[in-house]
Amino acid sequence: MTFALPDTLRAAAARCLVALTLLALGPAPALADAYEDFVFAVSNDRVPLVKELLAKGVDPNTVGPNGEPALVIAARFGFAGTVDALLAAKANVNAKSTVGDTAIMAAALNGYLDLVKTLRARGASIDGTGWTPLIYAATGGQDAVVTYLLAEGANVNALSPNGTSALMMAVREGKVSTATLLIARGADVNVRNQNGATALSWAVKGKEQDLAAQLKRAGARD
């Protein structure tokens, strides 16, 4: 036996279904717009818009389409105002991108010393497994950042996942002053990575004769 709903109940049910459908579908475009606006604002240092969207509830740890958290994006470009706004909103200072980069690593690579200091003061890690801010700073030849990180206690002989050191990266990129600084601060000149490369082999390959001679004086062996 079947029962037919009265017309009034059928109408009410239909109204509820429409309301629920609108509720489910309505906010999606708004959320998508907020996400796009936030990524745009962070990527272009639009600090007032960043703050406005954060105040409306956008997550400060939002990850951009390239896999980078908002804080990493801002730090990579040296956007101090945006970094400050994100940190004030409790962004995770040690959040990592899909390739393992953190905000302090991005800032170190590009030589943004003041940002490196700001992030460090807020608890950014400078050592750990994998690539480190010091290795990134050495890769970019950022002597001021290297000096600061070493003063903060960064491990001068920290190794990347394939066993490459900060000194090796400085040599590979031809950053002579950075390599000299790291040697003076006790970097191991005989580290050999998983591919068999050393600082000396890269210096020779790069035809950095003066640097190769300096490495040999510091005890580097073929």
* pTM of the predicted protein model: 0.84
Q: How far, in Å, CA of 75 to CA of 119, rounded?
A: 9
Residue 9 has pLDDT above 80, yes or no: no
pLDDT digits (tens, 9 = 90+) for 146-200: 999 999 999 999 999 999 999 999 999 999 999 999 999 999 999 999 999 999 9
Confidence bin at 222 (pLDDT 50/70/90): confident
pLDDT at 75 over 50: yes
Distance CA(87)–CA(71), nearest Å, equals: 8
What percent of the residues of the chain are helix, what percent strand, and what percent coil, each to the nearest 5?
A: 55, 5, 40
What does the alpha-carbon distance between residue 179 and residue 40 come to, in Å, rounded to a whole number? 37
Distance of CA 99 to the CA centre of its chain: 9
Distance, CA of 76 to chain centre: 7
Res. 27: pLDDT tops 50? no
Domain spanning 23-107, CATH class: mainly alpha
Where does the chain hold its CATH 1.25.40.20 domain(s)? 23-107, 126-222
| 3-state secondary structure (DSSP) of residue 202 | helix
Q: What CATH number should be reported for the domain whose range is 126-222?
A: 1.25.40.20
